[in-house]
Amino acid sequence: MSVLTRAAQPGVSASDLPRRSRLIGRRVVLSAIVPILILLVWWLGSLSPTKGLFIASPLATVVRTFQDFLGGNASHLFLGTVAWQDLLPSLWRATVGFWLALVVGVVVGTALGVKPVVAALFQPLVHLGRSLPTPALLGVFFLLFGTGDWPKVLLIAFGVIWPILFNTIDGVQGIGTGRAHVAEVFKLRRRDVLFRILLPGAAPKIFAGARVALSLSLIMMIISELQKSRNGLGYLLVATQRNFDYPGFWSVLLVLALIGIILNIIIVRIERRVLAWHQGATSQHD
């Protein structure tokens, strides 16, 4: 009897286990095919007599990445000189720029979303700012803020604020009359309405905007460092090319790809925790 009932439950019986692990194995193999092909093309490219001059082989790139970015001793937290000189300053600028954009974007977006008059007043300005390609403003930011970290941080913030701003406006406006009525009838204080209804309700949209902004901030980080820089990954991309140091150049690309992947994993994790209710609530209506 117990054997029968156990066999009736999916995914528990003993004969099921090998099939399941076979399925997982097949997925791993499938998802590995494309990266292996890319590596192969990369490697073949590096062998080419003409193009090979500019393409470092995958192995040389990985070795160089370890040397430059991880070669340090314990006193340097095992990070290499390039990591200290270029990677960390770049990440610092991107982080400050991103958080600045997040705070300003959410505050301004909430104000614009709540007050239609303010929204109408600032609409032309917002659309102007959004439609300007931010890299075009690089020179303006250098003129206004000198050549240190600030023009770069502010350029990053300016470049990534738009998805956060627009999503916050959208999220706050999409709260709906139903919840507004609840706030009215139960006489909630304005502070509670803001922090307990508007912002949590807009959080899924704000998160979506922040996710776009985060990947944009890496792009803006590189662009801001292409000119008038003495360090940073963007600077390094230019400097290694000028010196025909192609393994160095390719190792920067590898590091950038890794940063992108790691940031995405982090934000997905955070989103799953903070917005678990949203996933549950939306799957209910499917």
Partner 1 sequence: MTDNQIPAELVMTGIAKVYGTNRAIDDISATVPAGQVTVIVGPSGAGKTTLLRIICGLDAPTSGQVHFDGAPIDGVPDGLAMVFQDYSRSLFPWLRVEANVGFPLRRIDKKLRRSRVMEALEAVGLAGKEHLYPWEMSGGMQQRVAIARALACHPRLLVMDEPYASVDAQTRAELEDLLLTIQATMKITVLVVTHDIDESVYLADNIIVLSKAPSRVSEEIPVRLARPRDQITTKEDAEFIRLRAHVLRLLRNIPEAPTGAGSLAAKVTA
Sign of the alpha-carbon dihedral angle for 85, 87, 92, 97 = positive
Identify the residue among 79, 201, 208, 241 touching partner 1 (CB under 8 A).
Answer: 201
CA distance 3 to 154: 66
Identify the residue among 56, 203, 206, 239 touching partner 1 (CB under 8 A).
Answer: 203
Residue type for position 234: G
Identify the residue among 14, 77, 178, 242 touching partner 1 (CB under 8 A).
Answer: 178
Identify the residue among 181, 190, 269, 272 touching partner 1 (CB under 8 A).
Answer: 181
Q: Which residues contact 60 (CB under 8 A, 6 or more apart)?
A: 46, 247, 250
CB of 88 or CB of 114, closer to partner 1: 114
Identify the residue among 73, 187, 242, 273 touching partner 1 (CB under 8 A).
Answer: 187
CA distance 99 to 16: 48
CB of 228 or CB of 278, closer to partner 1: 278
Residue 190 binds partner 1 (CB under 8 A) = no
Residue 272 binds partner 1 (CB under 8 A) = no
172-181 burial string, b = 16+ CB within 10 Å, else e? Answer: bbebeeeeee
Residue 179 binds partner 1 (CB under 8 A) = yes
Q: How far is the CB of 92 from partner 1 (least distance, A)?
A: 33
Q: How far is the CB of 170 from partner 1 (least distance, A)?
A: 17
Q: How far is the CB of 189 from partner 1 (least distance, A)?
A: 8
Residue 278 binds partner 1 (CB under 8 A) = yes
Place of tokens 């997905």: 268
Question: Which among 98-106, 109-117, 198-206, 265-273 is the span making contact with partner 1, rule CB under 8 A?
Answer: 198-206
Identify the residue among 26, 103, 115, 192 touching partner 1 (CB under 8 A).
Answer: 192
Instruction: Find the radius of gyration of the CA atoms of the chain.
Output: 25
Residue 270 binds partner 1 (CB under 8 A) = no
Residues lying near partner 1 in the complex (CB under 8 A): 176, 178-179, 181-182, 184-188, 192, 196-197, 200-201, 203, 277-278, 280-281, 284
